[in-house]
Structures are given as structure tokens and as C-alpha cells.
Amino acid sequence: MQNTVPFDVTALTTDPYGTYDRLREAGPVHRITGPDGRPAWLVTRYDDVRQGLADPRLSLDKSNATPGNYSGFALPPALEANLLNMDPPDHTRVRRLVVKAFTPGRIDKLRAPVRKVADELLDAVEADGRADLLAAYAGPLPITVICDLLGVPQADRRDFRAWTDALITPDPERPHLMKEAVGHMMRFFTGLIASKRADPADDLLSDLIAARDGEGGDRLSEDELTSLAFLILFAGYENSVHLIANSVLALLDHPALMRSLRKDPAGLGAAVEEFNRWDGPTPLAIRRFPLEDVEIGGVTVPAGETVLLSIASANRDPRHFTDPERLDPNRDRSGHLGLGHGIHYCLGAPLARMEMETALAALLERFPGLELDVPREELKWRPSVRARGLISLPVRWS
């Protein structure tokens, strides 16, 4: 039996977990009206979400949506050929090529540079005694890391961040800015790829170009190469910004945990996993479209309709996690879905973990008196059901 409920965007930004709790208890699958006014199926319980994430019958390819069913932002064709719009066998081929770039060796080589950037960002604000941590730290750190990984020249990074911000936080009064940002990034990547092709370096983009131009059957198309660079930048930046800020807020809300991690930074690895479960940056997995009529939680979802798998709801499902509302790095977090599951599990997970641990370690070490600089209730969240992120995080330190 399907459950029909109004889709209250405000409730999912102001009280997401309370809203998901109510939806989850009301039923496993709900027929909703999305923020674009189109219908979708929202899946809320852990077992169904986990199964859905790995179900080959649920396609990521937008061409499998029924006409008029999906109205996502249209990227240029050269940027659509990415892993978030691919099914096997193309997904398998492309992922196999790009996953080599996220080896433990490459990630370890980035650890010291990431810590250096973190320290420099904190140096810049330390004397002020206060800052918007999102603008001064959680934002600039990931873009620097991703640019270093891809091999983006230092001189181009300011524009890079502006374009990415235009996509992450679109201005409803100036919708043309998003389209212009995509155009700028498309031209930029085309030029950068040409430059790296002529003069390769020790960076991820040069490795991807080698995979594109190399011999053998498993090769990238030119569109796949361009869209992969775009995806790595965009996904790696947005998710890291929000996860860093959300995690710092969690620590400010749990001072005993903050003191414990400051005293014993070795616990940061477990804490990062728990932050990802408890208040991660991606409440919903990328939309999916059934290739055939599919039964989910006892509900039949017709082929081609939009399925939204709620990671946020699944990660707080008491059917799987004991006392899920409690933030506890020592809990059994096995199977948390903060980084996905199945063949679409987050490609950059090792980089994200290292970046988070390094960012939090530097911050806790530098500012023992860290606290919010505004009343907790004044913090505002992005008005989005697809991204869980603060608009700003004003803090101060003694």
C-alpha cells in the first residue's frame, strides 16, 4: 500500500530528521510531490534504501525516465557522460579507469599538503578571534584539495570556486548565473585538458588523459574525460564543505566529545564515520529510475518513475541502529550509508575521510576555546532537500 503525503520542503530543511522519523514510521515508501512539482517515490527505511542503492533494476541513466517525469538541471552533453548518469557496462568501465587515481599511495601523498593548507587557513584568521568557519575554512580547504588533485593552476582557482559556488548555492533572483557557471567550467576544462595533454604532470587529470589516450579497449571518450573532471570537482567540493561544517557544529553541540577528540586525535577516524551517519551532507541519493515495475517495501513502483532513496532517514532508522539519534563514535556503525553502497559507493571516500580527519585535527589543535558566535537557533541551513549544509557557521575562540 502506498502512502501519499505532502512534500514539505521547509520541514525537510528546518526539521529534517523529525520529518523523516514521521515518514519512516508511517511507511517504507511514500508517493510525494517533489520541490519541482513532479511526483516521486521516497524510500525511508534502512533495509529498503540499502537494497535500492545496489539494485541493478534502478537506473541512474536519465534516459530511462518516463517523458515529463524528470526535470533536473540540464548539463551540456559533454558533462552528462559522468558516473552519476551511468549504468553498467559503461559505469563499470569508467569507474575501473578512474578508481586507480584514488589509491592509498596518492591519498597519503596528499595528507601533508592538506594539513599545510589547513594550517595556512587557520593562520589567516587566528588573530581575529572569530570567523565564519564555512567561508574561511570549510569552503576554501576542499577546493584547494580538489584543485591540487586535478592539477588546476593556482591562478585559476578563484574563478573555479566562484563557478562552483554558483552551482551549489544558486541565486533564485539570477538563474542565468548557474548556466553561465557551467559554460565557464566547460570552457575551462576543455582548455586545461588540452594543456595537460601537451604537458602532462603528476596529477589526476593527467592520469585521466592518459587513460583516454592510451591503447586498449577500456578507454574514456572525450566527453567522459571532461565530465569526470567536472564531477570530481563538484562532488568532491560540495560534499566536503558541508561535512566539515556539519561535523564542527556536531562537536560544538557535544563539548565532551570535542574535549575527548582534542585529547586523543586517534579517535577522529571513528568520529568521522559517525558524523557521516549522524548528519551527513547528502540526505538523498542521486535519483533513480526503475527499468521495470519494481516492488520496494511492499509498494510497486512503475518503470521510469523517479525514486528517491533517503540516506538521512536510513542512517537514523532504529530498525538498524540502536538509539540512532545519539551521536556516538563508539557505536556499531557497520553498514552506515553516508558514502553510499554497492557499485555507486563514493569513489572519493578515502580522500574524503583523510580530508575530514586532517581538517578537524588542525582545528581542534589550534582553537581549544572554539564556540559558536551566535545563538544556536540563529544558524540557517541551505533550503535544499538534496544537500544538508549550513549557510554560515560563525564561531569564536579564546
H or E element in which residue 180 lies:
helix 176-198
Active site residues per annotation: 235, 238, 240, 346, 355
Buried b (16+ CB within 10 A) or exposed e, 72-100: eeebeebbbbbbbbbbeeebebbbebbee
Torsion of CA 355, 361, 366, 369, to 10 degrees: 120
* Distance from C-alpha of 250 to C-alpha of 165, rounded to nearest angstrom: 24
CB neighbour list of residue 372: distance below 8 Å, 6 or more residues apart:
252, 379, 394, 395, 396
Torsion of CA 288, 293, 298, 299, to 10 degrees: 70
CB neighbour list of residue 45: distance below 8 Å, 6 or more residues apart:
24, 28, 297, 313, 314, 317, 319
Q: How many CB atoms lie within 10 A of CB 48?
A: 22
- CA-nearest of 393, 389, 394, 396 to 241 is 389
Cα radius of gyration rounded to whole Å, the chain: 21
Tell me the sheet residues that pair with 58: 290
CB neighbour list of residue 118: distance below 8 Å, 6 or more residues apart:
137, 141, 358, 359, 362, 363
The DSSP secondary-structure symbol of 319 reads: T
Q: What is the 3-state secondary structure (H, E, C) of 231-251?
A: HHHHHHHHHHHHHHHHHHHHH
